[in-house]
Amino acid sequence: MEVYMGIDVGSVTTKLAVLNQSDELVVDIYLPTQGKPIEMVQQGLRQIKQQLPQDVDIGGVATTGSARYLAGVIVDADLVKNEITSHAVGALHYFPQGQTVIEIGGQDSKIIIIRDGIVTDFGMNTVCAAGTGSFLDHQALRLNMSIQELGQRALESTTPVRIAGRCTVFAESDMIHKQQMGHRTEDILYGLCQALVRNYLNNVGLGKDIQPPIIFQGGVAFNQGIVKALREELGIKVIVPPHHEVMGAIGAALLVHEEMSTSQHGSKFKGFGISEIKYRTSSFECKACPNLCEIAQLSLDGQVLARWGGRCDLWERSSTS
């Protein structure tokens, strides 16, 4: 049995997906990154190994996400791809006629415009939390409820309250004010979902030609309050695909399957034994320009395997990999 693995390492979650030769999902793993991307990739690999048959052959491995280069070095990936391409390929695999992909993650969000199966435009938000999952997570924590409960209770709203949600700080103070005025919690929660959707569309989606079919993926698509608010705001049906939370990893696996089908060599994947290796991470200050970026580096037995974290790619290019 030959399979292809995609690894999507984001700032909040780490996702792994394994596809068979027919591009059907065999196994998927969804883990919190917890600021430890190396350990989470290793943990994901251990879990994948337990769920796959003993005689399985890894035909190719691809990495994507914000820590794709780091993950690529650890597993010796055959392919490293950006999130836009991976999410678009994953969406089109399930919905070939898709024209807009909305992806909202924990720390960033993106919109991908597709025409005739080709990405023609995209937008990303990486600096403001007001259009991402962390916006909701923080408020759920403050209200002492799970993110799942927040989504369900938001659906019970009958008269949603408008939350001034252009900024997470202002949103929180506005929510407290609305609570003090006596508004129902459900109406405040749905108002929060509406605020996130407005922020997303006014920031990431600004100026984009949003056409159906619209595919909504990423971890935030679990939240039914957000799904409802998105449908209401756009006035168009929004499709939440199966396995929406691991779509980036699925896209990466599809891409590496295609890549390896024309390769004359087997996969470079180092094997599941890498999940037990103890890597060393350290950092230093780059003095090449006035930015003074903090550069992180990954080492094994005194040899530097990779460097990352700068505003430019100086150290990624000069890495020993």
* CATH number where 100 lies: 3.30.420.40
313 and 289 within one domain: yes
294 and 209 within one domain: no
Cis peptide preceding 213, ω within 30 of 0: yes
β pairing state of 294-300 and 280-285: antiparallel
pLDDT of 129? 65
190 and 105 within one domain: yes
Residue span of the structural domain in which 157 resides: 96-240
259 and 220 within one domain: no
pLDDT of 194? 92
Check the CA dihedral 27-32-38-43 and report its sign. Answer: negative
pLDDT of 320? 43
Q: 240, 263, 294 — which closes off a domain?
A: 240
257 and 212 within one domain: no
The answer to whether residue 263 sits within a structural domain is yes
In angstroms and rounded to an integer, the radius of gyration of the C-alpha atoms of the chain is: 21
193 and 227 within one domain: yes
pLDDT of 321? 40
Measured distance CA(50)–CA(119) in Å, rounded: 36
The answer to whether residue 234 sits within a structural domain is yes
pLDDT of 316? 66
Number of domains in the chain: 3
Measured distance CA(125)–CA(163) in Å, rounded: 21
Phi-psi label, residue 271: left if phi above 0, alpha if psi -120 to 50, beta otherwise: left
pTM (2 d.p.): 0.88
Which contiguous run of DSSP H or E holds residue 133?
A: helix 133-142
CB 224 within 8 A of CB 100: no
181 and 150 within one domain: yes
214 and 112 within one domain: yes
pLDDT of 254? 97
105 and 82 within one domain: no
226 and 124 within one domain: yes
Q: For the chain, what percentages of helix, strand and coil (3-state, to nearest 5) are there?
A: 40, 25, 35
> What share of the chain in percent tops pLDDT 70?
96
261 and 206 within one domain: no
298 is written with which tokens? Answer: 């990954």
The answer to whether residue 91 sits within a structural domain is no
Q: Residue 61: beta bridge partners?
A: 5
Q: How many residues does the chain have?
A: 321
Q: Residue 110: beta bridge partners?
A: 103, 124
Please list the ranges in the chain whose pLDDT falls under 70: 126-127, 129-130, 165, 316-321
Shortest CA distance to 196 belongs to which of 152, 166, 217, 169? 166
pLDDT of 281? 82
CA angle 312, 318, 321 (to 5 degrees): 120
Measured distance CA(19)–CA(257) in Å, rounded: 9
Give tens-digit pLDDT for 212-258.
999 999 989 999 999 999 999 999 999 999 999 999 999 999 999 99
